[in-house]
Structure 1
Amino acid sequence: MNTSPVQSITKIENTPLSISVYSVKDKPLCMHDAGTLEIIFCLTGTIKFAYAYEEFILNTGEYVSVDRDAYYLHSDGYNMCVSFYVDLMWFEKKYPNIKHMLFVCEGCKETTMPYPTVYHDRLRGILIALLKFILDGSLEQDAAKITQITESITDLFVHHFDIIFFHSGKTEFHEEILKRNQEIYAYIDKHLVETITLKDLSSHLGLSSSYVSEFMRKVSIGFRQMLAYIRANKSEWYLINTNYTIVEISEACGFSDPQYYYKAFKEWYKCTPKQFREKYINQSQDNMVYYEPYVIRTIVDNLLIEHYMNLFLE
């Protein structure tokens, strides 16, 4: 995965988890490969988080997830943050399509999604408790427990922070609906550069085209829009990592023509591909201070007390 230098990240051996503790003034552009989930937790202070051409503030105790989107961080004041890096491929046997899933979890006030839900509170509690466990224990001896906790985090994302919730505005879906939607995303992601028809998708699922069309319209954003969204999201990588022209990127992501790509990208990102590229590739300043995890022990203890006081006394 493309992250900051190796020495800035603590890999917890024999687990799917790594963590990074830092204070940020400017964290340069970062972008992960499929199969990596990062959760950025603001332990104290405030930071500006920018992705998908959106910017919002994370305050103390707030967090946000990021998978394949390009992002950067900025702050003008004191802050302390921790990033959790989850190797999702560790759980591929349990969730065969996990490499192709997209997640949205904005555990902060500045979000258009329902917040806080019981699942946001649960995730926040797990993250704080996980930090406490890591700080107080022996990482070698506790690898199995850390893996178990990381699996529970992954379960929360698969069942409650799948991108279907972002697109639908809902907070609950039956497991069968979630599973089918994830199968649809996986098929589209695997065949992105090909010509994908509703008939192809329906045949793959063993269902009628009319059923699949109605299913996608009711629970999400419809076949054509979903196809356009996944392709536009994929184009971020080319805009950031290559000098490809818009025509070349459009073709690489499976769009039928550049105008369709331009329209789809602008619909989802509220800017043109050129504007996105110009904004994000200029975010190269690195002004970070990294710390050993033990320095946040007192902060974590205070957050743990505050979280459970709020949870049980409100």
Structure 2
Amino acid sequence: MDNIIKEEIIDVKEKPYAIKIQAMNGYPIHWHENITEVLMPLEDSIEVYANFEHILVKKGDFWIVNNKTIHSVKSSSKVMVAVFHIDLNYYEKYFEYIKYMFFRNNMYSEDNVIIESDNYDDDKRSSYKVRFRNLLISVLTDATSNDKIAKELTKDSIYQLVAFMVKEFDWLKFANKSNKNFSPLQLNRYHRSIKYIDENYKDKITLDDIANNEYITKNYLSHLWRNLSYFSFQERLNYERVMKSGFLLLTANMSISSISESCGFSDVKYYYLHFKRWYGCSPLEFKKRCLDFMHINLSYEDLELDNMAKIIEDYIKNIILPEYARENIWNTTELFDNYVRMKYLYKIDKITPQRPPRNVSIDILNTNNFKMIKNIPYFNWQNIDLLVNFSETSNFDFNIKIECEKINNKNFKKVVGKFLNSCIYRYSEITIAKWVFFIFYSDEMSFKRANAIGDLIESKIENAKIKYFFEV
């Protein structure tokens, strides 16, 4: 069993992340301590085995492997895979309970068969996944660049990745189908409970223990658990015990009864019951499956990042930009030129930082960003996404420019309404509430339109920041 290892990521001792591109037809069974791993195939697809799940990750998608997850990778042919390792110890100072968060970018499989990484059942989450994937590519663009300034941007981009992951890919986002807004206090209580379970799963612990630590009633905490995660406290405790038993099955020469006892189960039959619930098989069958996997001929090699720029450029042109250029509204050449121009903004800001206040703006009715085709408004979300990401990463205020002269009375509500709804959908109300809307008018007719647009913005965004300008 020596080949089933805890893999140390040496690079994160120098910086809080490690990025590599590997050519592989598979990767052996392993896990990481306090590391989150993100896998993104740059060609074809890969199969990821993570604890009890078997996931097909296609080109154009990614998979988040959680802290202390036993996992491996397999592919039918040698493919290039981007691998990101994020040091949770470092990011704990920004996100206190990040080591106890469970990140999810798809739904669970119901019957332990292979699932596809894009089987999410929520269009909004699909949009978030696209943004996260594009952030990964942005990081790779910097990491594979020969430009020193570009490489220095990587740390900022990784922070944005982590912040986005915490905000949108915490398991609680998937469990919370009612879209209730839970307070930071409630979320922290939940994550402290997970931490307590992680540290005490071997012992006989109860919901009363955690409730006493939190100075709240057992009933309140039980209700909070159900509302937040769909799992009861006992279900989550048994899940943790089963996952911990996986390490012992693969690394320790112990009997099943000894493993059961050391993981906190009072009776071995309960261990079998809960193990089968998650893995769909017995502990010994799982162990055999892993041993069989070890005998598969797997090969992998690290590729030089400095030689990968063309691969990343092709990925952008073949995967990302066609998504934005659908229906031939914008061609991929224009989009790629804009992508390069936006990346140049990062570089300029790094060399010669703008004096405060730092602002970036986009004219949403400019022909580069907006087109009206058969009375249907289309926006260039590639440009908008890049600028939003830039403003969030580089601490710029984000401004929206709306020139009333560029839109007529018949369509302005449809156009501005669609833009606002799409932004709320893509970036969240919290993000948009920080933006400033600059509305320009030049005569009495456009003045009335400006006021109507302002009313529309205020109806969508609470405490919206709006400034009106008379333009000569």
Q: TM-score range by the shorter chain?
A: 0.7 to 0.9
Q: How does 1:209-288 map to 2 (within 5 A)?
A: 209-220=218-229, 221-284=231-294, 285-288=297-300
Q: Which amino acid aligns with 1:310?
A: E
1:131 offset after TM fit, Å? 0.3
Give distance in 1, aligned partners of 2:270 and 2:258: 13
Q: Which residue of 2 aligns with 1:56?
A: 55
1:112 offset after TM fit, Å? 4.9
Q: Which residue of 1 aligns with 2:375?
A: none
- Preserved contact between residue 27 and residue 286 of structure 1 (Cα < 8 Å): yes
Change (3 A) 1:172 1:215: closer
Give distance in 2, aligned partners of 1:191 and 1:244: 21
Change (3 A) 1:256 1:144: farther
Q: Which residue of 1 aligns with 2:41?
A: 42
- Preserved contact between residue 48 and residue 57 of structure 1 (Cα < 8 Å): yes
Q: Which residue of 2 aligns with 1:136?
A: 145
The answer to which structure, 1 or 2, has the higher relative contact order (CA under 8 A, 6+ apart) is 1
Q: Which residue of 2 aligns with 1:22?
A: 22
Flag the structure with larger Rg: 2
Change (3 A) 1:135 1:12: farther
1:111 offset after TM fit, Å? 5.3
Give distance in 1, aligned partners of 2:24 and 2:249: 25
- Preserved contact between residue 145 and residue 151 of structure 2 (Cα < 8 Å): no
Q: Which amino acid aligns with 2:291?
A: I
- Preserved contact between residue 250 and residue 261 of structure 1 (Cα < 8 Å): yes
Tell me the number of residue pairs that the alignment of Structure 1 and Structure 2 aligns. 308
Is 1:152–2:160 an aligned residue pair? Answer: yes
Residue identity over aligned pairs, in percent, reads 24
Alignment RMSD (CA, Å): 2.7
Give distance in 2, aligned partners of 1:144 and 1:223: 43
Change (3 A) 1:113 1:169: farther
What is the CA deviation profile of residues 14-69 of structure 1, one whole-angstrom value per residue up to 9, with x for unaligned ones? 42111221122232112112x10110110111222222233232221221111222
1:157 offset after TM fit, Å? 2.4
Is 1:182–2:191 an aligned residue pair? Answer: yes
What is the CA deviation profile of residues 107-139 of structure 1, one whole-angstrom value per residue up to 9, with x for unaligned ones? 994455436523211210110000001111556
SS at 2:308 equivalent: helix
More deviation, 36-45/186-195: 186-195
SS at 2:141 equivalent: helix
More deviation, 144-153/237-246: 144-153
Q: Which residue of 2 aligns with 1:300?
A: 312
Q: Which residue of 1 aligns with 2:338?
A: none
1:153 offset after TM fit, Å? 1.7
Q: Which amino acid aligns with 2:165?
A: F
More deviation, 227-236/105-114: 105-114
SS at 1:44 equivalent: coil
1:90 offset after TM fit, Å? 0.4
- Structure 2 gaps of 5+ residues are 108-114, 325-379, 383-472
Q: Which residue of 2 aligns with 1:93?
A: 93
- Structure 1 gaps of 5+ residues are none
Specify which of 114, 119, 135 is matched with residue 121 of structure 2. 114
What is the CA deviation profile of residues 84-127 of structure 1, one whole-angstrom value per residue up to 9, with x for unaligned ones? 01111101222232233332234994455436523211210110
1:186 offset after TM fit, Å? 1.1
Change (3 A) 1:227 1:105: same
- Preserved contact between residue 160 and residue 172 of structure 1 (Cα < 8 Å): no
Specify which of 172, 178, 185 is matched with residue 164 of structure 1. 172
TM-score, normalising length: structure 2: 0.60
More deviation, 302-311/179-188: 302-311
TM-score, normalising length: structure 1: 0.87
Change (3 A) 1:147 1:85: same
Give distance in 2, aligned partners of 1:201 and 1:264: 22
Give distance in 2, aligned partners of 1:173 and 1:244: 45
Specify which of 3, 7, 13 is matched with residue 3 of structure 1. 7
More deviation, 286-295/118-127: 286-295
Change (3 A) 1:240 1:138: farther
Give distance in 1, aligned partners of 2:50 and 2:292: 14
Q: Which amino acid aligns with 1:294?
A: D
